[in-house]
Amino acid sequence: MALKGIQKATLLLTLLDSTTASELLKGQPQEVIQKIAVELSHQDAKGDTDPERAIQAGRQFYDELQRSQSGSMHVKSFVNALLQGSAGNREKAAEIQAKMKQAMMEKDPFLALSSAAPAHLAAALEDEPPQAIAVVLSSLPSKLTSEVLVRLDQDTCQQTLWRMTRPGDVTPRTMRRIGEVVCKRLMDMTSDQGAPVTDDTSYDSLRRVAIILSGLEKEKRDAMLSVIQQRDNETATRVRALMVTWDDIVKIEDKSLQQALRSVEPTVLAKALHNAESTVRDKVVSNISERMMDMIEEETTLMGEPRKKDVIAAREKVAQPLREANEAGELLFIEEDED
């Protein structure tokens, strides 16, 4: 397909540094600047940044531009510098950026959402029903989807994950309407008048998702983990690891714990038990043989004071067979009494 004039101009500008590009745009009508900024953002959101096309558009300048180009350019930074340099002041640049965001939303709300910060997007989605959240997240890049999921509350996260494993028929018109509503809320939140959003992508948020999944039947848990893994393998790995931790040992039934501890070396257990919480230590000691306890005590005498990182690594090794048993559906937890 032949490139339009605005597309050619945009591709050519991406070969230049922002200062040179701004010089070229000075004197141009604001409408032209806005169209170029929108096209840049649109190409970035679609991942349509093939350098070959840019080189093709500026073939006659290629040798000169290649010497001045400083490698891969961050498109958002380029747009901001371009707008400020061409518009003449920050206020005018902000006005053009606002129009640019509006134009992006009208063109495709999901492209606009795909460039949002995970914390902002999670906040914009928190009042939506799980069905609508699932529609939005299923249309976004995998990594962004995973980062948003871990920021949702437990119940919403669980229901959204389940909805994503059971996609229903949603018309393009309904999808667009949902996208526009969320996009509008996101724009309001990120404006100067919007309330600040507190980000939470800590250990606790991933642990929260892990606990939710741990309480499900194996079939449902595996299905939801598969959804996360397809979208972001790193996040899925972290969630799997957090489904059973060293501190969870006190919640595991004795028979299951005994089975798992049989595969752990005395040297590893000796380091893992160093300065352990008394409840965890007592639970482990009560589920190993006297012979194993004698070997642990001997190892403790010989090893001296272990480094903190070695203790943490040893506890991870103890938790590993527990995680494997849990994934196989063989790990049993002590049932808590319901009030």
Contact indicator for 238, 209 with CB cutoff of 8 Å: no
| Region for residue 21 given its phi and psi (left: phi exceeds 0; alpha: psi -120 to 50; beta: otherwise) | alpha
* Element housing 186 (H / E): helix 172-189
For 25, other C-beta atoms within 10 Å of its C-beta total 20
Contact indicator for 149, 121 with CB cutoff of 8 Å: no
- What is the dotted CATH code of the domain comprising 248-327? 1.10.220.30
CA–centroid distance for 84 within its chain: 31
- Two tokens at 121? 């997007």
Query: What size, in residues, is the chain?
Result: 339
For the chain, residues with pLDDT lower than 50 are 1, 60-75, 78, 192-195, 338-339
Q: Tens of pLDDT along 129-153?
A: 988 998 888 888 877 888 888 888 8
Q: Tens of pLDDT along 245-304?
A: 898 999 999 999 999 999 999 999 999 999 999 999 999 999 999 999 999 999 998 888
Contact indicator for 225, 239 with CB cutoff of 8 Å: yes
For residue 35, give the amino acid letter: K
Position 240 scores a pLDDT of 83
- Model pTM? 0.45
Which residues, 6 or more positions from 84, have their beta carbon under 8 angstroms from its beta carbon? 22, 90, 93
Contact indicator for 21, 65 with CB cutoff of 8 Å: no
Angle of CA points 305, 307, 311, to nearest 5°: 100
3-state class (DSSP) for residue 111: helix
Domains of the chain, residue spans: 5-107, 109-243, 248-327
- Two tokens at 214? 């741990």
Position 272 scores a pLDDT of 95
**Residues facing 252 on adjacent strands:** 333
Position 66 scores a pLDDT of 36
